[in-house]
């Protein structure tokens, strides 16, 4: 972020000038008078000064020194965006996204902020994402997911829109990103299945997307460490949708290859896959061991209770909000990679076998 921010003071000054001109026009006075009023010059009458200050406050104009702190005092609203893909315009029902939304709402409430929540199409993720900030309605933006718009997000960061993104760390990333350690998450899941004696481990997830791609890298690394060749027929690209798990099971079955385990890139995929495996007469974990990803609440009381990789959803909301507030305050906010953790329950075998 350091590079992206280095010309910040010039731009801020430009923005101040424009807004000062607005105030002058609306108050029916000159820009010089506004400037004098804001600087408590004796050349401006008390009545005019009060009028200009009130107008400045109404227009959310940030006065002079400590501008950002003042802005925070006046406007405590953060934009939260969960985009949708026009091609598969799904409703907002994904349990992980909803849990993240709840976590952000809680974290913002703790900090005394309101959330301006909007859904926009992924192809609007450039200018439209920044619109509520540009118009002064919010002081910063939290975006859940990168949605294949890495370049547009870099552009927003380059023009110093305060934005923090939930997603994967990528090369040449100018924007601040909070996410979990996907590579080690993929390794932990695969390692656990290998320790259960499984050797034909299917991978469910769309490896065109950054996070599943990183989890797949961890999966491949764990297999290679065990001297097992990666079989691309065991990888099934399936969307993060309720139909995803059963679609992936049908694809695997159609390929007519053997498999004794599934590592699914979300708990939703894992649960719907288990439901579908059951319909195919396969017992979980006896015939097919399943590990999910996310550790949404439901994993703890699903049947069989789901072994999964925990993304710390509560901590994620707080980390996103903390990074954004730092950015707004003018502090460079480093990207954060939260740790992932294996949660052993029943869906991949209750006990750990000795490593093969």
Q: Write out the residues near a second copy by the rule CB under 8 A.
A: 25-29, 48, 51, 54-55, 58-59, 77, 80, 82, 91-93, 95, 98-99, 101-103, 105-106, 109, 114-119, 132, 242, 245, 271-272, 274-275, 278, 297-298, 300-303, 305, 314
Sign of torsion over alpha carbons 261, 284, 194, 308: positive
Work out how close the CB of 354 gets to a second copy at its nearest, in angstroms, rounded to a whole number. 28
CA angle 111, 338, 198 (to 5 degrees): 140
Q: Which is nearer to a second copy, 99 or 165 (CB)?
A: 99
H or E stretch including 338?
Answer: strand 336-338
Least distance in Å: CB of 94 to a second copy? Answer: 8
Closer of 4 and 128 to a second copy (Cβ): 128
Contact 304, 145 (CB under 8 A): no
Gap between the Cα atoms of 183 and 213, Å rounded: 9
d(CA 142, CA 162): 9
Q: Are 242 and 249 in contact (CB under 8 A)?
A: no
Shortest Cβ 232–a second copy spacing (Å): 28
If we measure between CA atoms, which residue out of 280, 259, 284 comes closest to residue 271?
A: 284
Q: How far is the CB of 247 from a second copy (least distance, A)?
A: 13
Residue 59 Cβ, how far from a second copy at the closest point, in Å? 6
Residues 330, 331, 337, 338: is their CA dihedral positive or negative?
A: negative
State how far the Cα of 106 lies from the Cα of 98, in Å rounded to an integer: 12
Of 8 and 314, CB closest to a second copy: 314
DSSP 299: G
86 neighbors 122 (Cβ within 8 angstroms): yes
Residue 231 beta carbon to a second copy: minimum distance, rounded to whole angstroms: 27
Measured CA to CA, the distance from residue 238 to residue 200 in angstroms comes to 19
Return the number of the residue (118 or 251) whose C-beta is nearest a second copy: 118
Instruction: Kindly state the smallest distance separating residue 199's Cβ from a second copy, in Å.
Output: 26
Do 95 and 296 form a contact (C-beta atoms < 8 A)? yes
Q: How far is the CB of 19 from a second copy (least distance, A)?
A: 11
Pair 203, 236: CB distance under 8 Å: yes
Name the 3-class secondary structure at 335: coil
The residue among 25 and 280 lying less far from a second copy, judged by its C-beta, is: 25
Nearer to a second copy, 39 or 109 (CB): 109
Residue 33: CB atoms within 10 A of its CB come to 20
In the complex, minimum distance from the CB of residue 18 to a second copy, in angstroms, rounded to a whole number:
14
Nearer to a second copy, 174 or 274 (CB): 274
Q: Which is nearer to a second copy, 232 or 281 (CB)?
A: 281
Smaller CB distance to a second copy: residue 170 or 346?
346
Long-range CB contacts (< 8 A, 24+ apart) of 16-25?
16/62, 16/67, 19/59, 19/61, 19/62, 20/61, 22/59, 22/61, 23/52, 23/55, 23/56, 23/59, 23/61
């Amino acid at each position: 972020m350091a590079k992206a921010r280095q010309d910040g003071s010039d731009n801020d000054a430009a923005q101040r000038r424009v807004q000062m001109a607005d105030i002058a026009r609306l108050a029916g006075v000159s820009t010089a008078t506004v400037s004098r009023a804001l600087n408590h010059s004796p050349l401006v009458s008390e009545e005019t000064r009060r009028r200009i200050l009130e107008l400045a406050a109404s227009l959310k104009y940030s006065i002079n020194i400590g501008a950002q702190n003042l802005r925070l005092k006046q406007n405590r609203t953060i934009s939260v965006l969960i985009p949708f893909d026009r091609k598969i315009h799904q409703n907002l029902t994904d349990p992980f996204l909803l849990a993240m939304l709840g976590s952000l709402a809680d974290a913002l409430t703790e900090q005394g902020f309101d959330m301006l929540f909007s859904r926009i199409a992924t192809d609007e993720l450039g200018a439209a994402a920044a619109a509520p900030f540009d118009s002064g309605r919010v002081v910063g933006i939290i975006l859940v997911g990168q949605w294949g718009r890495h370049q547009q997000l870099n552009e927003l960061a380059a023009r110093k829109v305060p934005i923090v993104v939930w997603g994967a760390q990528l090369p040449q990333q100018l924007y601040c990103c909070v996410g979990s350690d996907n590579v080690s998450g993929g390794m932990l899941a695969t390692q656990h299945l290998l320790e259960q004696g499984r050797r034909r481990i299917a991978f469910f997830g769309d490896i065109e997307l950054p996070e599943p791609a990183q989890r797949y890298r961890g999966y491949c690394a764990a297999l290679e460490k065990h001297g097992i060749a990666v079989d691309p027929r065991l990888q099934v690209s399936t969307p993060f949708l309720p139909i995803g798990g059963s679609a992936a099971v049908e694809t695997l079955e159609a390929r007519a290859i053997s498999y004794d385990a599934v590592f699914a890139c979300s708990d939703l995929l894992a649960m719907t896959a288990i439901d579908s495996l059951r319909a195919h007469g396969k017992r979980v974990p006896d015939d097919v061991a399943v590990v999910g990803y996310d550790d949404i609440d439901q994993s703890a009381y699903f049947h069989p209770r789901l072994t999964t990789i925990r993304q710390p959803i509560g901590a994620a909301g707080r980390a996103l909000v903390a990074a954004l507030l730092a950015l707004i305050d003018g502090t460079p906010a480093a990207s954060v990679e939260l740790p992932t953790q294996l949660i052993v329950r029943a869906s991949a075998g209750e006990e750990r076998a000795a490593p093969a």
